[in-house]
Amino acid sequence: MIWNEARECMSREDMNHLQSARLRKIVDRVYHNVEPYRKKMQEAGLEPGDINGIEDLHKLPFTTKDDLRDNYPFGLFAAPQTDIVRIHASSGTTGKATVVGYTRKDIDVWRECVARCCTMAGLGRDDIIQVAYGYGLFTGGLGGHYGAEHLGATVVPMSTGNTKKLIDMMIDFKATGLMCTPSYLMHIAEVIEEMGVKDKIKLKATINGAEPWTENMRMQIEERLGIHAHDIYGLSEIMGPGVACDCIHHKGLHIFEDHFLPEIIDPKTLEPVAPGETGELVITTLTKEGIPLIRYRTKDLTSLSYEKCECGRTTARISRFKGRSDDMLIIRGVNVFPSQVEAALLTVDGITPNYQIVVDRVNYQDTLEILVEVEERFFSDEIKALEGLTKKIGHTIQQALGLSARIKLVEPKTIERSMGKAVRVIDKRKFDN
């Protein structure tokens, strides 16, 4: 089992000491190897010697996705190409992809982090783990694969594509672990029910991430499949999956602070927020060689807690993600996060976590429509049941968002399923000009 007690259960003092030593080293590395970083530091009047420890972190300039795009493809690499053994890239919504490179040591750190996540989920050498994240430039497939293999588990590289085959193999191989996006897991649960094979499934735990999901959705999945579903976080710029993961207590995601130094800032003022308050997660990679990033603005909204967890780990925990500072929708002047909509919907009985938010603009007025899949039984009931449910959802959304929405109930499986990240929001306003 990969339970790195020396690192995951360190005293705060020792952890800060380790982080300071690693920060000094990484700042030195980028200053001497990455021209854009040297320039940025010089513009801020900084030299590596000015950074003595984590108390000086705030002096360093931020890094954003634009810095990666501006230096496409390899401009921020801090290692010679001969030391880079792997490239990944994330598809940008605009412009060029963001490209990242890994040295052999980076891959070793990555697999150890993902293996630690598997341990948190109670998986070990005896387990058979199917990896159903996409393999390729996306970090999910290979990241999960190397981590589970490092754990010593038996890895089945399913990738995405054929859900029935995945389930057949899950049964035949007696698979006990599964890694995939939460929305795909939901789809897998539906197909298992459809096939009537739930009693043949030996699954114990799943490790799900790459997109926001709610606590409610996690509990619904756990109940449907009789498993523990764990939230894994990561982003390709920083490494890929395995930056943080929640343990069996599901009270926030333990961030591997020996490799990733977290801060939470107010995305508008860029100042740190008080402990426990929600803001944007900023990460400094402490050990990356290929593409170390200093104060990288993830745009992901969360909060930090340094309280010791019941599991014994002392690493800081980030709360379940509340969305991104840049996926926030402003509808009729009201800020709305898709995760808020999901949380509200799932409080209503009879709703599945399959929904789509459609925002449009008609006569200069924003419109909000929410398509919600409801259980089959409502469609066989009389029309009154449907009307009642529509009203109830409308009321719940109004209460949660302070916004009225047109609710459209649709039959199960109407909303297109995704093997990767679900398309939760269709914002048509972007296309009119």
Binding to ligand DLL by CB under 6 A, coded x per residue (else -) over 159-198, reads ----------------------------------------
In this complex, which beta carbon is closest to ligand DLL, that of residue 154 or of residue 319?
Answer: 319
- Give the other-Cβ count within 10 Å of 388's Cβ: 12
Task: Give the H/E segment covering residue 426.
Answer: strand 425-427
- Give the other-Cβ count within 10 Å of 92's Cβ: 13
Segment interacting with ligand DLL, rule: CB under 6 A, options 194-202, 204-212, 305-313, 373-381:
204-212
Among positions 83, 108, 211, 369, the unique one binding ligand DLL when judged by CB under 6 A:
211
Angstrom distances, CA of residue 411 to CA of 90, 173, 261, 309, 355: 33, 33, 45, 42, 11
Q: Are 236 and 89 in contact (CB under 8 A)?
A: yes
Among positions 8, 127, 231, 373, the unique one binding ligand DLL when judged by CB under 6 A:
231
In angstroms, the CA 358 to CA 367 distance is 8
Does 240 sit near ligand DLL (CB under 6 A)? yes
Q: Are 94 and 72 in contact (CB under 8 A)?
A: no
Structure tokens at 362: 């008609």
CB of 51 to ligand DLL, least distance (A): 26
Query: From the centroid of its chain, how far is CA 145?
Result: 17
Does 90 sit near ligand DLL (CB under 6 A)? yes
Does 262 sit near ligand DLL (CB under 6 A)? no
Does 233 sit near ligand DLL (CB under 6 A)? yes
In this complex, which beta carbon is closest to ligand DLL, that of residue 210 or of residue 304?
Answer: 210
Does 260 sit near ligand DLL (CB under 6 A)? no
Segment interacting with ligand DLL, rule: CB under 6 A, options 75-83, 133-141, 408-416, 425-433:
133-141
In this complex, which beta carbon is closest to ligand DLL, that of residue 84 or of residue 253?
Answer: 253
Among positions 101, 147, 177, 234, the unique one binding ligand DLL when judged by CB under 6 A:
234
CB of 136 to ligand DLL, least distance (A): 11
- Sequence-separated (6 or more) residues with CB below 8 Å from residue 307: 317
What is the chain's alpha carbon radius of gyration, rounded to the nearest angstrom? 22
Query: From the centroid of its chain, how far is CA 329?
Result: 19
Does 356 sit near ligand DLL (CB under 6 A)? no
Does 353 sit near ligand DLL (CB under 6 A)? no
CB of 50 to ligand DLL, least distance (A): 30
Closest-by-Cβ residue to ligand DLL is 209
- Give the other-Cβ count within 10 Å of 126's Cβ: 10
Binding to ligand DLL by CB under 6 A, coded x per residue (else -) over 274-303, reads ------------------------x-x---
HEC letters along 292-342 = CCCCEEEEEEECEECCCCCCCCCCCEECCCCCECCCCEEECCEEECHHHHH
Angstrom distances, CA of residue 368 to CA of 326, 374, 396, 400, 408: 18, 19, 14, 14, 11
Among positions 101, 147, 177, 212, the unique one binding ligand DLL when judged by CB under 6 A:
212
In this complex, which beta carbon is closest to ligand DLL, that of residue 208 or of residue 352?
Answer: 208
Among positions 103, 206, 220, 236, the unique one binding ligand DLL when judged by CB under 6 A:
236
Which ranges of 121-229 would DSSP assign to H, the alpha helix? 139-151, 163-172, 182-195, 215-225
In angstroms, the CA 242 to CA 177 distance is 16
Count of residues that bind ligand DLL according to CB under 6 A:
20
CB of 233 to ligand DLL, least distance (A): 4
CB of 53 to ligand DLL, least distance (A): 27
CB of 148 to ligand DLL, least distance (A): 12
Nearest to 209 by CA among 219, 199, 218: 218
Cβ-count burial 183-206 (b if 16+ within 10 Å, e if not) = bbbbbbbbebeeeeeeeebebbbb
Residues 134-153 that bind ligand DLL (CB under 6 A): 139-140
CB of 46 to ligand DLL, least distance (A): 27
In this complex, which beta carbon is closest to ligand DLL, that of residue 113 or of residue 370?
Answer: 113
Does 241 sit near ligand DLL (CB under 6 A)? yes
Rounded to 5 degrees, what angle do the CA atoms 337, 340, 345 make? 135
Among positions 321, 337, 355, 378, the unique one binding ligand DLL when judged by CB under 6 A:
321
The contact set with ligand DLL (CB under 6 A) reads 90, 133, 139-140, 209-212, 231-236, 240-241, 298, 300, 321, 324
